[in-house]
Structure 1
């Protein structure tokens, strides 16, 4: 299926694991958490219970490191029958602080792509997560000047994108979203008749995994963000 991008005026970029490394740090944090709770359960069970807690808390806490830390604390209390020590709780909090203080590592080719596309298109950043943390990462990234608009969404569903496009005064047919998540950056976009390009990251959060039957062919998938320039110039 050939997809035509000639009418595109605005290009949206996801942030985490599209522009810079993110999920890798969560995986490292999960491993550290499992070690802290190893006297209570197996690593596999701890992982399962933490993910379940994250899903239960999603509507209350939203996305991001702070929400993740709260879920780790709750999981630790639950897995230990409220016997977890204050020292362990402090170590869990420090896992979160270390995540928030991580350097921003841009993915290969990101700045070159933004520099080139910004000459012709209006670029926006459309991400979800904690506002303060995302602002911090964007500032550290050095990419702020490439974007005409920054939007930190509470979620990335069809209604969120439709509201964003209305705010930007752009038709769906004129909008292209680029991101690493089929669930968040691609499927909601094609469902509102806009365009999407999927650039997978090597590690995907379980919540963002899409079952094969949910896939469709109404988008382009590229191995590297630099390949976008073959289709947009």
Structure 2
């Protein structure tokens, strides 16, 4: 019998494991280091602007975030930032790159259950070495039929991945916490997009849900994914 779904793609950060929480903790450390130069809200806005500005140079991930913190520190101090502060920011970035992985609720069970009946892919963006490290530490690596670490998630990227690893986007589903990166472009490619919200989402990933899209779904957590996949067929 023909099936509507043959391939399920999973986002990684803040879908399968914690990520944004560590960025927020580091931002608090950043604000504390520079409290004599600017208040927290101003620093947040300046850092976010630097991150947006630098995405085209550094891409997504901790290394680009660290460089954006350093750039912001130089800007808000009129190039007077102490070397000790720069050193602390570098150390903070290095600590983030070494932080143990914390799986989100139902992550392992969801991937295991789906992998028993469908082709499963990990599709994530960010720094290659860091994403490989997190996948290895997660203990989920052997469950995936393919892993794609990309610089951006767009309609054409999903079309390519689901064609190379499956039967095309029409028989594929993408599951993730970002409406902008995981859900909308997957639907635009012709697949299903499932939003699994995380209580912390980077502002750059904010977007409005595509409520009128027939292939859009939202679930509270990954514990509801297997039933949704079975329902679609």
Gaps of 5+ in 2: none
Report deviation, 1:168. Answer: 2.0
Which consecutive unaligned segments of at least 5 residues does structure 1 have?
Answer: none
Aligned to 1:230: 227
- Counterparts of 2:145 and 2:183, CA distance in 1: 21
Counterpart residue number, 1:14: 11
Determine whether 1:173 maps to 2:170: yes
**Correspondences of 1:70-219 after superposition (within 5 Å):** 70-211=67-208, 216-218=212-214, 219=216
Partners of 2:65 and 2:211 lie apart in 1 by 28
What's the offset of the Cα at 1:192?
1.5
What is the SS of the residue equivalent to 1:16?
coil
**Cα distance per residue 1:175-207 (max 9 Å; x no partner):** 110000000000001111111111000111000
Whole-Å separation in 2 of the counterparts to 1:211 and 1:223: 17
CA-based RMSD: 1.4
Q: What TM-score do the two structures reach when normalised by structure 2?
A: 0.94
SS at match of 1:232: helix
> What displacement does 1:116 show?
1.0
Q: Which aligned segments of 4 or more residues in structure 1 are displaced greater than 6 angstroms?
A: none
For 1:165 and 1:142, locate their aligned partners in 2 and report how far apart those are by CA, in whole Å. 24
Contact 2:163–2:169 (Cα < 8 Å) also in 1: no
Give the drift of 1:7. Answer: 1.3
The separation in 2 between residues aligned to 1:30 and 1:22, in whole angstroms, is: 13
Once the 2 structures are TM-superposed, how far is the Cα of residue 160 of structure 1 from its aligned partner? 1.5
Distance 2:185 2:83 in 1: 42
**Inter-CA distance 166–232: structure 2 relative to 1 (3 Å threshold):** closer
Moved more, 164-173 or 219-228: 164-173
